[in-house]
Amino acid sequence: MKITVGNEQSAEVIVHLCRESDGDPVPGVKLRPHARKRGAVTWLYSRDQQPHDLIIGLGPDEGISAERIREAAGNAVRAISKEGFKTVAVRLDRLAERFSAFSAPAGQAGGSAELNSAETGSANGTEGSIPAVSTSAAWSMTVEDLVAAWAEGWRLGSYTFDLYKSNKSSRSVEHLHLILPAGACTAQDLEPALKQASIRAEGTMLARDLCNEPPNVLHPESLVERVMEHFAELPVGVRIYRDEELERLQMNGLLTVGLGSRYKPALIELSYATDPQLPLIALVGKGITFDMGGMNIKSGRDLSDARFDMGGACAVLGAMDMISRSGIQANVTALIATADNMPDARAFVPSTVITYPNGITVQVGNTDAEGRLVLADALLHADRLGAREIVDIATLTGNVGQALGLKMAGAWGDRPFIETLAAIGEKNGDRIWPMPLIDEYEEQLHSDYADMNNISHSPYGGAIVAALFLRRFVDKASRWVHIDMANTVQVASANGYYTAGATGYGARLLADFVASRVEAARQPKA
């Protein structure tokens, strides 16, 4: 797709962004109030070969943010692609002017300038293109921010996973023109913003692609192959632990959970260390490529969604893609614990006892609580590598969705880190909410014949108890956060820049967190 910026441009469709307080954007047409509501999509079709107008509602004036812009872009591209239009112009100028969302740099913007979206996806990103997060007001945007948000939302909203469909959609926009205020920015000024948007969208779509794949295609062994192939041309070291190496390192959680599958489990280790002097950050992801529940087998009319149990691993892989393509200076290791949880004659059964290398023994009360068993191995390995800042992310409990609904994940652990992550999520759309670690709940993990059980004895507070279980495998000297994203890994229908299926949640959250920690590490000590 070709992207151009500049002044007015002829196109088949003109997109107008409209807040609730805005006047009617198209002369002679009075909009009804619902057309200005957040997420509203209204077509005004023209005659005589004139451009059609598409009104995208932004909702109330307060709270307008980059996330609203991304949502609007996703809604717009989906509506336009459905109609089959190929050329689009977007009126970003009015919005930028009304909110003073830009400060014009020296020099004047010329006419239309062309930017090729294929080039913005290059691995040679600019240093620092994943920005540190500011906790300032939501609408403190430059025109570069506005363009980046629109381009990111547009790319993510146009995402489709139709790899296995006979009739693939060919209705994609060929030319996107962004109308900006006169003198706001030159095309050259906007190249980093568009490159940043492309890097972020590509990383998120990588996470979506992997998570959407069916289990006959993507399983622990093929995931290893995909990862090795994908990162071969990026500045990322890849090491795979399998078979005898897992046994040597006593990764008994992975070995036990993987017993029932014909595909062997593995621990995938990715390293990106452009500055080894920085503190090592570990990103840990749960990669259960299909979760049938083991011998505590799941039941239901359609269990296809069990493929989304690798959402945490996909988030980590998407983040590593963004980090390595951005060129930021960082010292980060990703650890993916991958296995299938299947019932089989060889599969582990309830009452199995697993012994971990830190001496903790775990009674398996329920084989469907397998995620924490494999994450324990990865958390211990993060400590073995010397990481003192650790974030794990996993589709761990359905309980977190009962607490928080489907719009934000829960986070437990180091409070300052959680506050940083929450600020990041409010800005980039991967929202989280701080959750408590209640020490008294540890008694719910009591086992009569092991150090602890892998499942709570109570039906209440399951997400908290799961976080307490993981905490036992983190060194007390480490700063650690656990993110339970079971409720945010997928959506049932298209909305904003999400399409039905995997969301790619967490990829941008983790990438921005790493960037924020790098910036914090470089700040002079008080």
Query: Which residues are known catalytic residues?
Result: 298, 372
Distance of CA 161 to the CA centre of its chain: 16
Residue 257 is which amino acid?
V
> Are 321 and 295 contacting, i.e. CB atoms less than 8 angstroms apart?
no
Whether 353 contacts 449, CB under 8 Å: yes
Provide CB contacts within 8 A for 398, sequence distance 6+.
462, 486, 487
Side-chain-side CA neighbours of 505 within 13 Å: the count stands at 32
Alpha carbons 212 and 100: distance in angstroms, whole number: 40
Alpha carbon 244 to its chain centroid, in Å, reads 33
Q: By the 8 A CB rule, do 337 and 377 touch?
A: yes
266/253 Cα distance (integer angstroms)? 11
* Closest C-alpha among 338, 337, 342 to residue 261: 342
Assign residue 113 a region (left: φ > 0; alpha: ψ between -120 and 50; beta: otherwise).
beta
Other CB atoms within 10 A of residue 207 CB: 30
**Residue 53 has which token pair?**
């107008």
Query: What's the distance, Cα to Cα, between the start and end of the chain in Å?
Result: 48
Q: Which amino acid is at 47?
A: R
Q: How far apart are CA 39 and CA 480, in angstroms?
A: 37
CA 4/CA 360 separation, integer angstroms: 59
